[in-house]
Amino acid sequence: MKNIFKKQEMSEIKLIASDGEEIYVEFDVINASTYLSKLLERDPDRSSFEIKEFPSYILKLVIEYIGLTLKKKPQPIPEVLNGINLKEDLNDDLFYDYINRVDLETAFQLINAGLVLELVHLHDLACSKIASFMKGKSVDDINKEFSIECQLTAEEAKTIGLEVDDQQC
């Protein structure tokens, strides 16, 4: 990606997270995200940008992720996870270690961050964490984990062939 920065005296850009925390990042981090690059391209003289979509802890995780991609090009993530665990499917300790330490709620937020900031691999990596978690679990187990209540009445569930008791739906 070409470097869009013209001002030599600037070495960092300030990103302001939704919780007001200011995070300073190098230009190579900005250039790694199409979304962030476009922000600066539209207004190259600005030294700060509000990123209202994410709190600072998510923005810091995104910046950390970008730093990893600057050290090592991420490999494509398989569309189907066939391994017995995520580490086997990713076959990349660096990115596995990164995503393995975040909880499921954070993984969902990283999916959103990947979409908004146009970081396809981050999106796919976070999706693979969720998919790996769900692998081999029953619908009931997944519903309990994510606090999903049945959206059907007991009668509707029975009509489509689900076996439920009246207390489940």
| Structure letter (DSSP) for residue 147 | T
Average pLDDT over residues 64-77: 93
pLDDT more than 70, % of the chain: 86
Q: How far apart are the first and last CA of the chain?
A: 52
Q: What pLDDT was estimated at residue 7?
A: 40
Phi/psi of residue 57, nearest 5 degrees: -65, -35
Tell me how far apart the alpha carbons of residues 17 and 26 are, in angstroms, rounded to a whole number: 16
CATH number, domain 12-136, options 3.10.180.10, 3.90.1300.10, 3.30.710.10, 1.20.1640.10: 3.30.710.10
Tell me how far apart the alpha carbons of residues 83 and 98 are, in angstroms, rounded to a whole number: 18
Which residues make Cβ contacts (< 8 Å) with residue 1, sequence separation at least 6?
Answer: 31, 32, 37
- Write out the two tokens for 148: 């999903």
For the chain, which residues make up each domain, given as ranges? 12-136, 137-169
Least confident of 8-12, 39-43, 104-108, 123-127: 8-12
Phi/psi of residue 55, nearest 5 degrees: -75, 165
Residue 37: is its pLDDT beyond 70? yes
pTM of the model: 0.80
